[in-house]
Structure 1
Amino acid sequence: MSIIAVDIGVLLPTGMAQGAADDPRGLLAFGCEAEKLGLSSLFVNDSLISPRVEALTMLAALAATTADATLGTGALLPFLRRPLQAAQSLASIDLLSGGRLAVAVGAGFPGRFGRPLYTLSDVPWPRRFARLDETVALWRALWAGAVSFHGEFFQYDNLPPATQPFRAGGPPIWLGGATPAALVRTGRLYDGWLPYPPDAADYASSLLEIHKAATDAGRATDVITPALFMTALIDEDEDSAVKEMDQYVTATYGMPLSEIEKIQAVVAGSSDRVRAAVKHYIDAGARHIVFRLGAVGLRSQHKQLERVASLVPGWRNYAENRPGPMPRKQSRSSLLNSV
């Protein structure tokens, strides 16, 4: 048995559709409260279609109102922005925050968060993953002082001096995704991994694939942060928790909880149940948990934030004990009985 450090963060509810009566400026107070309650990171997600506070604008505001928390994207969609402008914005946020930025990126996926966004951005859908990797390579080159860049998608000569981030080399860049190709790309090219697999055993096996790819590329495995994106709702009334979570995911995705929990890490129920679910992923290797709180409206989000924060001390210095292979995904009743 060994003691390991685990970071616990929260996704800010920047989607305005989650609470039409909420004042969006309350998100700043939400971020400050999360930091005071002991959460170590504040994440925002990115989109173009749904009404929400724009991701990098939100992080810039948080850079001025928070002191210590990591500020992250979960996940940023680089194709929505011109790559040079995005590099400038990210470097500026890293500067203003004193080097607290972590940039998880993604290429989008089929459905309303994929092709329609590419069409609106005048960017082709084919070869989107190669475009994403090259965009990241361009950012890193700019942050290292490059005066030219020649790739498949972007070619620049006589680049002017770019804004330099707080940290040499720029903020760490994580990849969101869990396809076999994404695992290899994470191991070869990225500084972290932010997936949301519904099965902790799949997380464990995927992390092994990432480490193999890193080793094959001559990289140390410990430079890659293994993170997890999990949607959670704590309510000691199990039926009420499941009902509220179903309302939340249906409003967010237009799909019921019974479908979403097949493809995402989702947990709704008592504090013991949430604790047990998170334990499986920590035992699988996750070292940075980013919670999306499954509650509609800032008032409900604040309540959930307090409940999650009450569990943070038990996760931050976690007694790891993995005597055997990871269990496969358990039913709700078996998880309740395993605490």
Structure 2
Amino acid sequence: MINSQELRDEIKNNLPTVVHQLNSYLRGENVNEIKDVLKRVGRGGQLPHWYKNLELGQSMPNLDGKTIGSVIEMTLLGVLEKHTLKSFNIPQLSVNPAKGVDIPLLNLGVKSPSENYCTSEPFFSAYERILGNEFDALILLTDYQSAKKNSPPIRVQIIKSMYLGGSEIADKGLCEIARLNRDLLMDKNEAECKKMLQFLCYVNQKSWRGKALVNLFKVLSQGDNSINSAVTKLEKDFIKKEKQAQFESKEPIHKSELQKILSIADSNIKVTSIVNAANDWVVDNHKDFARLPNDNEWQRFLRSPLNGKIGLSFALQWRYSFGAIFK
């Protein structure tokens, strides 16, 4: 029986060697060694159209970023089959993101951002923002943005790499807030803890009130004085932004946004008031779209290390930002 964890550990422990060999193939060096793999996983069982240039040592034509990602995934399979995992006598590997993970046999994802550190991908649940992925992933940072400025054919290389556990593919800052407050709210009221989780997963920090509430959750456990001090700072920030909007002839933030934050300072139950204000933000901005966590998501949250390491925001897709692990 195949132990995918053992195979992933082998890749993780030998990641520098994996990247070295991958870069060698991406330069066209001895790429004929993986010709059979590329043909097998190519569309219709044919060699990909970029293979000929690669074999001639000319690297590849000026492909778009998404295609570059496919090139890297397919070439990576060759590295794993012919080198890294050769001694394990595993079945042939395939790339099949439709199954929910890029390399199903290994239960391993592959993400290849360029120098802007970001990728955009469809999301299945907003709770991935805190819980992360169910599968580990290789993060292979490419020099594609620099390389594409050169005349084709271009030569793409992996310039940095990282192996992330599934729970690490979550928002670093929001995970820190959730970790800071999870026990506090669970001891107080499970429903309030669920509302915090819901808010952190759905919040848009481009919203002034949304970001203000994120800042209040950062001091939630520090007592009333710290919360009052934070509210005062937020009021000053609101006034500053209001003046800036007037100067730039832009529509200012509605004063009701500030009033909803100031009301927290007047409350005798500030923790509950912050949680309720966060819930109000979710309802005001997402209506029925923003559901509470289901049982599976809730149990994952309770046992999660909440050790996210990246930036993660969403619109129509997740925007993964890997700058935090490479900068």
Does TM, scored on the shorter chain, surpass 0.5?
no
Q: Normalising by the residue count of structure 1, what TM-score does the alignment of the two structures yield? A: 0.25
Which of the pair has more CA radius of gyration? 2
Q: More strand by proportion, 1 or 2?
A: 1
